[in-house]
Amino acid sequence: MYEAVPHRRGRPRFALHARVIVYAGLSV
């Protein structure tokens, strides 16, 4: 993932996934 994704803000994909998980948890 690190090699495929450029180091712009560290790990934008990780942040997005974290938000999705949080939203899913709140939705339940």
Residue 1 pLDDT greater than 50, yes or no: no
The pLDDT tens digits for 9-23 are 566 677 788 888 888
Q: CA-CA distances (angstroms) from residue 1 to 5, 8, 14?
A: 6, 13, 10
Residue 3's pLDDT band (cuts 50, 70, 90): low
Residue 7: the pLDDT is 55
Instruction: Enumerate the domain spans of the chain.
Output: 1-28
